């Protein structure tokens, strides 16, 4: 397995070099570049990638245009340009809750998996404060909700697909049940359909919501919502109980947030270019027991960190004038203007095992940092504008490192055009585009020993993230005996030479003592 980092920039319509920017997918552990996408730029949180490898797609909301650009993995130019009712500022995808059951059933049956695999729902937020939800397999518009008074900055589906959370510039955060948004077939009159209300509305913030993150909990009762705002606060909520757990107050505004996969810490990207670690557990010095920090609506003030024990500072180091000119392709005047602006950490992501932190800033730089040492482990090719989206995906080496000519899905199918009006409430008119899977070829039953060796090799590939394919070489008994005999002969020669040298040294020492005694 290998981890691929995808990142994309915001772009600048006034800068022609910014319009030529690339979105890239690069390996974390080696120098392989897996894919690149030409002229791909979007607003913050305005892109989503279905996965890494052949058959996957990139959806990008065009900035200031009512268009959705669709890219296929392995192709630099967009395959589709889908018109939208209005320009979208942020996107989010969710797979069908029964998709895993479908994959398992297909693998256990005599049919192959279909090659046309796309997620279930696409949600988007607009500048007018509306939430749109489309079904990708049919293009049907399932929901349009006037959820906020100002532009929506971020939308997120929970991993289980139960909730959709939206944050806006009006300092509000709304939590919706996905079934309430897409249940267009419930009720016979239009007023019943429009009566869906948010599951919970959060109004604790005083300034715009800059980012939010949903924990990947195995149980829905453990689902946590982390929101950050321009008012310098991090708030943690329990979604099922609709309660505020803890509020962290920091000395400056927060632009991005991500949590450890195990829920041990929160990482915040600040407007000053610092990345601050907020531990959620500590050891009580009196009882030596691990205790949680906060809870029960507690307010925690985060003090400054002069010793940098919980702070990453590498984003505050600006590029030199020559590096800025050669890599970022900016004019001298624009470079000087950028030098006067503070650097902010715009997006954060974390690796699969929680050991590496991926961060992008307003200068277009992307770093991979070791969480323990807080040192930069890798630097990626910079973009010409602020980083707007970062995503980390895991995929097999064979799927990511194949030649570019074979990365394109030969049986690629286009996504249906999105409807601009709500879908009909009549279930009979609901149409889906599905691919009938082909029948699998009969294969001989695999021997248990072969199966065990194959699983051992897969486990080795998963653990060996460096990309070096090592194997065990089996040597015969006769070869081992001959090799041992050669080593014994060499050892005997070395021992004899050492004995002769030591005898000569003792003789010379005796002669030296005789000369000294005679004098």
Model confidence pLDDT, tens digit, residues 324-362: 444 444 433 444 455 556 789 999 999 988 899 999 999
Q: In the prediction, which pLDDT does 518 show? A: 81
Q: In the prediction, which pLDDT does 322 show? A: 37
Q: In the prediction, which pLDDT does 345 show? A: 94
Give residue for tokens 């024990």: 309
Q: In what order do the strands lie in the sheet with 233-238?
A: 209-214, 224-229, 233-238, 243-249, 298-301
DSSP for 458-514, written as a single string: HHHHHH-TT-----PPP--HHHHHHHHHHHHHHHHHHHHHHHHHHHHHHHHHHHHHH
C-alpha to C-alpha distance for 387 and 39, rounded to whole angstroms = 14
Residue 70 sits at the vertex; the CA angle it makes with 227 and 106, to the nearest 5 degrees, is: 85
C-alpha to C-alpha distance for 227 and 207, rounded to whole angstroms = 12
DSSP H or E run through 182: helix 178-182
C-alpha to C-alpha distance for 160 and 179, rounded to whole angstroms = 12
Please, which residues have CB within 8 angstroms of residue 464's CB and are 6 or more apart in sequence? 470
> pLDDT for 85-117, tens place per residue?
999 999 999 987 776 555 555 555 555 555 556
C-alpha to C-alpha distance for 250 and 205, rounded to whole angstroms = 14
Nearest to 70 by CA among 135, 118, 19, 132: 118
C-alpha to C-alpha distance for 345 and 472, rounded to whole angstroms = 45
Q: Is 485 exposed, middle or buried (0-12, 13-18, 19+ CB in 10 A)?
A: exposed
Please, which residues have CB within 8 angstroms of residue 156's CB and are 6 or more apart in sequence? 92, 164, 165, 166, 212, 213, 214
Strands 243-249 and 298-301: parallel
Give residue for tokens 């995929």: 395
Quick one: CA torsion of 353, 468, 391, 458, rounded to 10 degrees? -60
Under 8 Å between Cβ of 126 and 109:
no
User: In Å, how far are 219, 254, 280, 320, 350 from 265, measured between CA atoms?
Assistant: 19, 16, 5, 33, 11
Task: Give strand pairing partners of 47.
Answer: 60
Fold observed for domain 2-429: Methylamine Dehydrogenase; Chain H (2.130.10)
Q: Which residues of the chain have pLDDT under 70?
A: 13-21, 99-117, 184-195, 318-341, 399, 401-413, 427-429, 432-446, 461-480, 519
Under 8 Å between Cβ of 266 and 348:
no
Q: In the prediction, which pLDDT does 118 show? A: 72
Please, which residues have CB within 8 angstroms of residue 423's CB and are 6 or more apart in sequence? 135, 140, 141, 142, 184, 429, 430
Under 8 Å between Cβ of 112 and 148:
no
Q: In the prediction, which pLDDT does 11 show? A: 83
DSSP 3-state assignment of 251?
A: coil
Q: In the prediction, which pLDDT does 66 show? A: 92
Nearest to 246 by CA among 272, 223, 280, 274: 280
User: In Å, how far are 166, 285, 497 from 288, measured between CA atoms?
Assistant: 40, 5, 60
């Amino acid at each position: 397995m290998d981890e691929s980092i995808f990142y994309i920039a915001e772009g600048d319509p006034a800068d022609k070099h910014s319009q030529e920017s690339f979105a890239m997918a690069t390996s974390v552990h080696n120098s392989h570049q897996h894919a690149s996408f030409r002229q791909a730029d979007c607003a913050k949180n305005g892109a989503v990638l279905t996965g890494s490898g052949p058959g996957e797609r990139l959806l990008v909301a065009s900035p200031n245009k009512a268009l959705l650009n669709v890219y296929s993995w392995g192709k630099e130019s967009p395959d589709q340009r889908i018109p939208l009712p209005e320009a979208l500022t942020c996107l989010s995808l969710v797979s069908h809750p029964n998709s895993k059951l479908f994959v398992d059933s297909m693998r256990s049956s005599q049919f192959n998996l279909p090659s046309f695999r796309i997620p279930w729902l696409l949600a988007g937020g607009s500048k007018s404060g509306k939430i749109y939800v489309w079904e990708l397999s049919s293009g049907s518009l399932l929901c349009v909700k006037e959820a906020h008074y100002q532009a929506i900055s971020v939308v997120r589906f929970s991993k289980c697909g139960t909730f959709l959370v939206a944050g806006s510039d009006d300092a509000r955060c709304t939590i919706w049940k996905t079934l309430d948004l897409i249940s267009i077939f419930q009720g016979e009159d239009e007023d019943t359909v429009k009566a869906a209300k948010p599951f919970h509305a959060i109004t604790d913030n005083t300034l715009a919501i800059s980012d939010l993150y949903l924990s990947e909990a195995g149980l829905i009762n453990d689902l946590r919502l982390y929101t950050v705002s321009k008012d310098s606060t991090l708030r943690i909520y329990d979604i099922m109980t609709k309660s505020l757990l803890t509020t962290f107050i920091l000395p400056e505004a927060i632009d991005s947030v991500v949590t450890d996969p195990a829920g041990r810490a929160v990482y915040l990207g600040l407007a000053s270019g610092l990345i601050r670690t907020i531990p959620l557990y500590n050891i009580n010095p009196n009882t030596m027991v691990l205790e949680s920090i906060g809870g029960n609506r507690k307010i925690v003030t985060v003090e400054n960190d002069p010793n940098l024990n919980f702070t990453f500072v590498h984003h505050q180091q600006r590029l030199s004038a020559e590096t800025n000119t050669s890599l970022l392709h900016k004019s001298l005047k624009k470079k000087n203007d950028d030098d006067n602006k503070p650097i902010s950490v715009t997006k954060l992501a974390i690796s699969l095992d929680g050991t590496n932190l991926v961060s992008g800033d307003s200068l277009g730089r992307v770093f991979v940092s070791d969480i323990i040492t807080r040192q930069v482990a890798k630097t990626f090719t910079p973009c010409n504008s602020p980083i707007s989206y970062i995503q980390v995906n895991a995929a097999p080496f064979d799927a990511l490192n194949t030649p570019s000519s074979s990365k394109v899905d030969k049986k690629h199918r286009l996504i249906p055009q999105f409807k601009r009006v709500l879908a009909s409430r009549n279930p009979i008119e609901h149409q889906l585009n599905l691919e009938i899977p082909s029948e699998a070829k009969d294969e001989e039953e695999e021997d248990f020993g072969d199966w065990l060796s194959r699983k051992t090799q897969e486990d080795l590939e998963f653990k060996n993230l460096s990309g070096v394919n090592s194997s065990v070489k089996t040597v015969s008994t006769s070869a081992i005996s001959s090799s041992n005999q050669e080593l014994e002969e060499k050892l005997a020669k070395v021992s004899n030479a050492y004995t002769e040298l030591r005898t000569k040294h003792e003789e010379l020492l005796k002669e030296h003592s005789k000369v000294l005694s005679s004098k």
